A and B are shown apart, each in its own frame.
Chain A
Amino acid sequence: MLDFWNNPMVVTALRLKFRKGSPGLWCVALVLALLCLAAILAHNADGLSVPLGRMFFVCMVGGVTALCGIISLSTVSASIRSEVTERTLDFQRIVSLSPWQIFLGKAIGEPTVGYFLILSTVPFAVVSWYFGAASGLATCLFYVNMLTFAFMCAAIGTLHSLKDPGQSKVRPGQSGSGVGWVIFVMIFMVPNMMANGAMSSNSWGAVPLGLFTPALGLYHLFHGNVWRAVVPFWELEIPALLVAPPFQVAVALLSIRLMARRLERPNRPLLSKPIAYGLLACFDLLLAGVAMHERVASQAANDVLWHFAIGHLLFSFVLILMTTPRQEMLRRRVWRVQARRASGKELLYADRTPINAMLLVVAFVGCLVAMLGIVAPAAIWPTTLGPPISWEALVEMVAIATLVILSYGQLIQMFGALVSSGGIAWGAVICLAAVIVPFLGAIIWTESGLAFQDSGLADAVFSLSPMSYVVSKLDDVRRLDLQWPFLVAISVIYYLFSSRILGQWQSAQRRQVLAKLTQMGVLANKAELESIATPD
């Protein structure tokens, strides 16, 4: 991985960019813009609320970070898109480079301009440091952060559909919408979050801001102490400038890994099951660590548990959507294992098996992290959380979360199997509707005092979604009166209905494939069957 200088993708990208002179032009334009900024700030120095050097440094780092992020994201995304639509990627796919090297090369080589822009601001940073804008360590860490942020944006830019344009039904521009969203978040959401001070104090919002961007560090640098930008983690407060670079590199490498998997076998789900388990465990640990920090967890102990449950469930659904095999993948597996039923081990880790076993693992990981990360610390080190979490609350949370995961997960798998294209999208829409509607409904309910509040109608509507029960456990929406037996009944109905439909579909596929194999005379030839590679 570190030998990227010899990666042909990097060599060619650098050669082309330098032949056209674009890095030089961009750098000259940026230097001129920074000189203008310095002149304007110096001219208005008396009216500034912070020292001139610091103001200049914050503006420069913020502006260059955003600019490089957008350049990295858009150049890599445009490059991949052009490779797919022009079908030049076909030639790349059959060279001696591994898919990992191809995408790593893209993420490093294509955003060359962005990296050079960052390096061209170093003299300005040295001058700012000399005038006391930030300490030497903080300045260096900001630069590391800018580079890792640009790399992360570039790696996210590689996430693209590799569907053959001849077969793809994707409308022009549709696949680029992801990039648009990221740019939207960078341009509008981050400044908005920073403007609302709550997001940049030690709260839930500070965590993603501190991990994904240098914005949290800049915010606190602007207010005088960059080391107040921290990511809370149980009793620890880790400086955001230290934790963000490795986190961003990890996100980047994960994105590249996902695309490498997609390039190896475009028919596989985006995420493998083992990677999904690992990601969920990491996310849950982070969530538990943040939830248990005394400044964040100002709620009662049981509420911390329910906040954790909501975070765990939402992330689980994202992972389930990325891991669920679609109809074609399931059918291919039936072919390649000659209609044999998947073993328990295969259900746990193989890509093209249904997600039944994965749902249990997802539920188990949540319970384990809740026990080790929330219940045990709350019992051992009772701080401001009040009384330790009760066993009843833990059992209730585990039971409800498991029911929600099983019922929604099985519904998603059913849609994935039944609908040939876009099954996952339908599943996502239904799941989001079932997850978000009760969430929003509960908020509207508590805020507005609707007329039908006491009629029982709202309770009945929300009861149709098992997720409502999780939401109803939060402190501020407890006025919803949802009953346990109804939750169990609804979840079991969802689960059994989707399991039955899915089972029928799988049986029909097995019968069809067996009939076809018998007709082809393949089943009689044991030696040939053994030589056929089975899928992962």
Chain B
Amino acid sequence: MEYGDKVAIENLSLEVEQGEVFGLIGPNGAGKTTLIRVLATLLEPTFGNVRVAGIDVLADPLSAHPRMAYMSDFFSLYENMLVWEYLDHFARCYGVEADRRERLIDEALELVSLEVRRDAEISELSRGMRQRICFAKSLLHEPQVLLLDEPASGLDPAGRVEFREMIKSLHAMGRTVLISSHILTEMTEFCTSIGILEQGQLLASGKVGDILSQLKSGLQLKIETVAGDGNVQRLMDLLDAWDQTEQLVVEDSRICCTWRGERLELPALHRAIVEANIPLISLAAQEDDLEDIYMRISGHKTS
């Protein structure tokens, strides 16, 4: 996919199974929005094949439209409409029959908890409410595939929790969701698969569990001792002597390192420290999360 001289996505091959919640991860400019807009038929790729719900969207976009919904991070609503008018407009645009329209609008408003704002003018609503209306609009025609580009970017913490629950309920209903987000830790909570996109190329993709187990580098240990009396140096020497420890870094009275061994071997390390008479304040072990894996794959430094 080219924009003039710039290549936005290159040599990308991606398949999302029906009923999956696929998370697209990548920094700004990685090509996430371009990919989603191509899938939504809003952009035409320079070269390649795109199928959504089994339909070739380049050859027959109009047949694909009723099967998909799209929501972007940057969006506007018709300010002069009432909430129900807005939803009614899009229900008509999607060809929802008159006898089902009213019921579907009510259900969509209930799902996004905006029943009480049914008759409000859109210009009076907060950003979070607008986002929810936009989401409600996306659900009106009961699409098989939802393409969500940073959908939770403007939501407050409570809104994010609510949004997460909505995605989970859509997953339970068997809908396929492709979602891009910067909030990587949240993605593991509702995504069944993920893809990591960097500079227009797909670096890794697959089930969340598979990616985490394949790419996690081991446990991150943080061991804190009492400063002085050569405690830090003795702890450093001890850790250095263990084969399972790597990448030792001293931070004041604390040593951080990667543990390549099994989790069950940690009590032995703990015992060795105590037996060496090194005063131990804390020993914490943390597994790699999606953010760490993403940072490592994409070559960024962990903050």
Contacts and interface: CB of A to CB of B under 8 A. Distances in A.
Nearest to B88: A12
B157 interface: no
Contacts of B95: 96
A16 B90 contact: no
A92 to B, nearest CB: 7
A98 interface: yes
B56 A95 contact: no
Contacts, number: 83
Contact of B3 (A8, A16, A92, A167): A167
A95 B78 contact: no
A221 B215 CA distance: 85
A97 B93 contact: yes
A96 B75 contact: no
A340 to B, nearest CB: 13
Nearest to A531: B49
A93 B41 contact: yes
B65 A533 contact: no
A424 B61 CA distance: 29
B46 A86 contact: no
B277 interface: no
A336 interface: yes
Nearest to A337: B47
Nearest to A529: B49
A479 interface: no
B4 A96 contact: no
Contacts of A267: 44
Given A167-B3, A331-B2, A533 B49 contact: yes
Interface residues of A, number: 35
A335 B56 CA distance: 18
A237 interface: no
A510 to B, nearest CB: 14
Nearest to B93: A95
B27 interface: no
B56 A12 contact: no
Interface of B is mostly: loop
A335 B59 CA distance: 16
A332 interface: yes
B287 to A, nearest CB: 36
Interface in B231-265: none
A532 B48 contact: yes
Contacts of B9: none
B123 to A, nearest CB: 13
B90 A332 contact: no
Interface string A1-45: 000000010011001100010000000000000000000000000
B42 A533 contact: no
Given A86-B76, A520-B11, A533-B58, A94 B42 contact: yes
Contact of A92 (B40, B74, B93): B93
Contacts of A531: 49
B41 A94 contact: yes
Contacts of B90: 91, 95
B47 A91 contact: no
Given A96-B66, A420-B4, A88 B42 contact: no
Interface of B: 2-5, 11, 40-42, 44, 46-49, 56, 58-59, 61-62, 65-66, 68-70, 72, 74-78, 80-81, 85, 89-90, 92-95, 137, 141
